[in-house]
């Protein structure tokens, strides 16, 4: 993890793989395919993220092969793997919006049901706080340029509206948990 307790690209891949296996045992080949599919559809292809070996999860004792050692044998998450998965799910989110952050947020939502209700609420509050910070940053930029009459102001209006909707949705979702 980075010093601010946010996930590195390698850890995002690890979160994805462990979350998939936590839902049900899968073969190595299926796991690799599912991780690649999810990551590339959320953030596009990335060697930083996809370059991590799933074999390392076995070596670290986070998953075990329950029916042998070939690509078709099933992998199952271990107790140690569940602890690692929950730690990764609870990681902070970087303030800047980028492709890796988008992937991490998508992974949090994809596997949030693996956390208990209290932990889910904490994660939703963390996400809402991140949106509030982004909103404050854009509102400050808007206030500085509002008299410019430029296309930037129109774009900022739309971005601010999107963030307000996202924040409201997160708060409503937290109330439903």
76 DSSP β-pair partners: 64
Chain center to CA of 165: 20
CATH 1.10.150 fits 116-177, yes or no: no
CATH 1.10.10.10 fits 1-115, yes or no: yes
Residue range 55-104, pLDDT digits in tens: 789 889 999 988 766 667 789 999 999 999 999 999 988 876 788 899 99
Q: How far apart are CA 129 and CA 145, in angstroms?
A: 25
Write the DSSP symbol of residue 71.
T
Residues of the chain with CATH 1.20.1280: 116-177
SS3 of residue 144 by DSSP: helix
Q: pTM of the predicted model, to two decimals?
A: 0.85
Residue range 109-122, pLDDT digits in tens: 999 999 999 999 99
Residues of the chain with CATH 1.10.10.10: 1-115
Query: Vertex 173, ends 169 and 176: CA angle to 5°?
Result: 145
**Number of residues that make up the chain:** 177
Sign of CA dihedral 106, 166, 87, 122: negative
């Amino acid at each position: 993890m980075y010093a601010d307790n946010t996930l590195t690209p390698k850890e995002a891949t690890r979160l994805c793989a462990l979350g998939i296996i936590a839902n049900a045992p899968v073969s190595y080949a299926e796991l690799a395919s599912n991780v690649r599919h999810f990551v590339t559809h959320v953030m596009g292809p990335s060697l930083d993220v996809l370059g991590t070996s799933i074999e390392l999860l076995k070596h670290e004792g986070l998953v075990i092969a329950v029916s042998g050692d070939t690509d078709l044998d099933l992998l199952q998450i271990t107790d140690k793997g569940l602890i690692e998965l929950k730690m990764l799910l609870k990681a902070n989110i970087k303030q800047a919006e980028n492709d890796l952050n988008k992937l991490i947020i998508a992974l949090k939502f994809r596997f949030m049901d693996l956390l208990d209700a209290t932990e889910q609420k904490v994660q939703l509050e963390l996400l809402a706080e991140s949106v509030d910070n982004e909103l404050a940053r854009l509102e400050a930029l808007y206030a500085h340029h509002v008299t410019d009459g430029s296309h930037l102001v129109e774009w900022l209006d739309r971005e601010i509206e999107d963030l307000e909707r996202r924040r409201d949705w997160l708060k409503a979702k937290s109330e439903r948990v």
